[in-house]
Each structure stands twice: as structure tokens, then as C-alpha cells.
Amino acid sequence: MGIGSVVEQVTRPARLSEQFIDLAGVEKTYRMGRLDYPALRGIDLEIGAGELVAVVGPSGSGKTTILNLVAGIDRPTAGTVSVGGRRIDQMSEEALAVWRGQHVGVVFQFFQLLPTLSALENAVLPLDFARRGPKRERFERARQNLALVGLADKADHLPAELSGGEQQRVAIARALATDPQLIVGDEPTGNLDTVTAAEMFKLFAELNEQGKTVLYVTHDRELAARAHRVVSIRDGLVVAA
């Protein structure tokens, strides 16, 4: 199923499966010099398996912090973070890295592709890190993911030879490398024009239709409104979910 096959408005499913993400009493405080900055002030948030959820709010409200906690990139100062029934806040750094590599695909606003590697080499990196399967099979899977995002013919191109939208598609192909259950996007359309941003959302919607839980931060209210649910964050608190 191609990118263009997903309708503009994603219909909220009548029934969602079991709870997949659970943040309970979560606080996150960052130390900045001599001062403590409370990014999250005690939030409770539940997201069901198979949901497509947008997180919105002003700059500095704590949106990205939530994504980083859910993805296991950061740890809470207080409270618990569970994903897929596992308390990831209790994992060791080594166990957390392995878990994240197997279960989470992260798409960043600024792509974060390695400039000296081709699109294909960037897309295969998570499989190389995980040492999953023979090299030939890893590259074949990466080629399949590039085809999924419409870049089968750009596999040998360097990032500098690709448009912003194409680079973001490579980033999504990379996020899909290990077939993760969870896709998180931190302003994944923030550097894209309106048309390309809409195409990126369609791809997220397609991945969601295939059963993946998708959680993304966006400043674009129109794109947020197409999600199953919108979580609004302000001053480190959930004000609507």
C-alpha cells in the first residue's frame, strides 16, 4: 500500500487494544547551573496499543521530554514509565539500549542522517547495531523499507543529494529497520513544506494502520487534528488528553 493510499482524515478506531504506554506521576527536573528546571510536574498519561497520538503545546511545555521518556532516551526524576507492560524506568542503561533498539523507532525533526553514508547505509544502521541477521539480509530489509517510503530509486544517494522530504523519508525507513512496535516523532514535519509534511503524516497513518503505535509532537494543529487523539501539554502538565 503506497503513501498516497491513506485518506486525509484518520478515523479513530472504534475499539483500541490493551494499554501500551503508561506514565504515572511522572516528574522530570533538569539541572541548569545552580537552578532546577521542572520540565514535567507530575503527569499521568495512558496510550493504548495501536493508537495514533499527537502531542501539542507551547515551546518548553514538556512535549519532547515526554517523547524522550517514552522512547527510553531519558529517565524520570519521579514516577513510573511503562511501555508494553515493562517498567523501562527501572532498566539498566545496557538493557534500555537493547530494548529501545528492538521496540522503538525514533524520527527526529532534523533527520540526523550520517552525511557520508548513502540512504541505504543510513537505513541499515539500526540493524547493524543490533547485529540482526546476516549482512545481506540486513541490506535487503533496508531496501524494502526505502521502497516502503518511496525511495527505492534513491538508495545510493547521499543525504546532500536528497531533498528535505526525501531525507525525512530515509529517517523513517531507518526508524522502521527493526520493525518496532512504537514509532515516536519529535516534530518530524517541522522542517518540511506543507505538501511534504502531509505526505509524511500519511506515511505515519499507514504505519499505524499496520498495527504500530505512533506518538508524535507537532506544532501543526492541522496535522495534530488528524490523529486519533490529541494530548495537550502546558507548563509540564497534561491539560487535555
Evaluate whether 217 touches 201 at the Cβ level (below 8 Å): no
Please report the pLDDT score of residue 182 as a whole number. 96
* Phi and psi angles of residue 29, each rounded to the nearest 5 degrees, phi first: -120, 130
Question: Which positions of the chain have pLDDT values less than 50?
Answer: 1-9, 13-16
Report how far Cα 149 is from the mean position of its chain's Cα atoms.
15
- The set of residues, in sequence order, having a beta carbon less than 8 Å from that of 186 and lying 6+ positions away, is 64, 67, 106, 107, 108, 109, 216, 217
Judged by DSSP in three states, 97 sits in helix
How many beta carbons lie within 10 A of that of residue 97, not counting itself?
13
Distance in Å from the first CA to the final CA of the chain: 31
The pLDDT tens digits of the residues spanning 25-79 come to 999 999 888 899 999 999 999 999 999 999 999 998 999 999 999 999 999 999 9
Q: In CATH terms, is domain 3-240 a member of 3.40.50.300?
A: yes
Question: pTM of the predicted model, to two decimals?
Answer: 0.87
Please report the pLDDT score of residue 8 as a whole number. 45
The closest alpha carbon to 86, from 70, 68, 66, 67, belongs to 70
Judged by DSSP in three states, 162 sits in coil
Please report the pLDDT score of residue 7 as a whole number. 38
Give domain limits for the chain: 3-240
Grid cell in block for residue 30: 533538569
